Amino acid sequence: MKLPGDPFRLPPDKRPASNRAKRLEVLTIIFVLSIIGVISAVMGTSQTMKAMWVEDVLSLVPPIAFLIGRRFSDKAPDQQFLYGYRRTVAIAFLSAATALLGLGLYILIDSIAKLAYAEAPTIQTVELFGYRIWLGWLMVAALIYSIIPPLILGRMKLPLARELHDKALHTDANINKGDWLAAVAGVFGILGIAYGYWWSDSVAAILISAEILRDGFSDMRNSIAQLMNRVPTSVDGKDDDPVPAKIEEELQRLSWVKKARARLREDGDVLTGEIFVVPRDEQNLLDRLQQATDVAHGIDWRLYDVNVVPVRSLEP
């Protein structure tokens, strides 16, 4: 019996991808912090810029969750937490998503109100190298800067997310896409103000907050689903994970197994849970169970701490 158990270890061939993903996420955090700094510096009274600020703070959550997750997956279960620490990530995800969802909703309502009351945004000039520069141009420059890092980093993360089957990384790559799209909308919002279309600020902010709500909502749904032990899915969450069916098939191929049924859940990037088997007879049962466990664990690198449980029947 292995209680408390060993921590999950990434197979050696996945290590380079994992290290690369970690480096990309550290880079993302650095760039996003710099973007938040630049946006804060030129924010003024523009709704667009407020919305972009929230969007960028929101996009800090997945990389931080990913890095914390990678650290905790190395941490062995102990006497206090017999199942380990993997779920801290889902909890962090959930609380951050909830907070940012609220902020996104606030910006959305605020922008709609500003549009409804026809409040024109005032943008002044600032002194730069002895000249008066309209702050709007600096906002455009900040927004263009904020397009580039997420555009590049997001594209680099997608293949790694697939290889590592990491949903936090996949979510992050998607949020990066939302980030740069939102920044493009923001550029048009500010350019609209420059041309005297006061409403373009609120309209861009509404588009951006819709993007924030979409991100926040999908984060929240994913983390709630994981905390509720939803059936494993593919990395983009669209299809069922083929691994449980494959386990059932492989185990049923063993001569002593009459029937097998896998009940697995996702814990971060790993799959864990029980496989119920109905043996044809009780001969050498302990040895056979060990064999079944080994077969099951050999099917996919993500299987961790799977228990094979003998039962008389799968019917209730």
Partner 1 sequence: MNHSNRFRPIPFVLLSCVLAPIISCSNLPRDPKQTLRRVQTRPMRVGLVEHPPWVIRANGEPRGAEVELIRQFANELGTTPEWHWGGAQEQMEAVENYGLDLVIGGFTSRSPWKDYVGFTAPYFEETIRVATPPGTSVKTVKGVQVLAEDDAAMALLEQKGATVIRVNEIQSVTGPVAAPDWRLQTLNVTNTDIELDHVKHVMAAPPGENGFIKRLDEFLYQKRPSLASLLQQESQQNEIAR
Q: How many other CB atoms are found less than 10 A from the CB of residue 185? A: 23
Q: Does 104 bind partner 1 (CB under 8 A)?
A: no
Q: How many other CB atoms are found less than 10 A from the CB of residue 298? A: 10
Q: Does 159 bind partner 1 (CB under 8 A)?
A: yes
Q: How far is the CB of 148 from partner 1 (least distance, A)?
A: 7
**Is 127 or 239 the residue whose CB approaches partner 1 more closely?**
127
**Is 195 or 315 the residue whose CB approaches partner 1 more closely?**
195
Cα–Cα distance measured from residue 208 to residue 213, given in angstroms and rounded to the nearest whole number: 9
Q: Largest Cα–Cα distance in the chain?
A: 90
Q: For the segment 256-285, give every residue that binds partner 1 (CB under 8 A).
A: none
Cα–Cα distance measured from residue 174 to residue 154, given in angstroms and rounded to the nearest whole number: 7
Q: Write the DSSP string, 130-163.
A: TEEEEHHHHHHHHHHHHHHHHHHHHHHHHHHHHH
First to last CA, the chain: 28
Cα–Cα distance measured from residue 115 to residue 79, given in angstroms and rounded to the nearest whole number: 57
Q: Does 150 bind partner 1 (CB under 8 A)?
A: no
**Is 191 or 295 the residue whose CB approaches partner 1 more closely?**
191
Q: How far is the CB of 166 from partner 1 (least distance, A)?
A: 17
Q: How far is the CB of 184 from partner 1 (least distance, A)?
A: 9
Q: For the segment 107-136, give every residue that binds partner 1 (CB under 8 A).
A: 119-127, 132, 134, 136
Q: How far is the CB of 205 from partner 1 (least distance, A)?
A: 15
Q: How far is the CB of 301 from partner 1 (least distance, A)?
A: 22
> Burial code of 234-270, b = ≥16 C-beta within 10 A, e = fewer?
ebeeeeebebbeebbebbeebebbebbbbebbbbbbb
Interacting residue with partner 1 among 29, 156, 213, 295 (CB under 8 A)? 156
Cα–Cα distance measured from residue 130 to residue 116, given in angstroms and rounded to the nearest whole number: 38
Cα separations (Å) of 149 from 154, 174, 228, 288? 8, 13, 34, 53
Q: For the segment 45-84, give every residue that binds partner 1 (CB under 8 A).
A: 45
What residues does 125 pair with on adjacent strands? Answer: 134
**Is 72 or 134 the residue whose CB approaches partner 1 more closely?**
134
Interacting residue with partner 1 among 26, 76, 113, 144 (CB under 8 A)? 144
Q: Which two tokens stand for residue 165?
A: 């089957």
Stretch that binds partner 1, among 70-78, 89-97, 155-163, 234-242 (CB under 8 A): 155-163
Cα–Cα distance measured from residue 200 to residue 44, given in angstroms and rounded to the nearest whole number: 16
Draw the binding track, 193-232, toward partner 1 (x: CB under 8 A; -: no contact).
xxxxxx----------------------------------
Q: What is the dihedral of CA 140, 142, 146, 152, to 10 degrees?
A: 90
Number of residues that bind partner 1 (CB under 8 A): 30
Q: How far is the CB of 240 from partner 1 (least distance, A)?
A: 27
**Is 159 or 242 the residue whose CB approaches partner 1 more closely?**
159
Q: How far is the CB of 23 from partner 1 (least distance, A)?
A: 13
Cα–Cα distance measured from residue 209 to residue 51, given in angstroms and rounded to the nearest whole number: 6
Q: Which residues bind partner 1 (CB under 8 A)?
A: 45, 119-127, 132, 134, 136-137, 140, 144, 148, 151-152, 155-156, 158-159, 191, 193-198
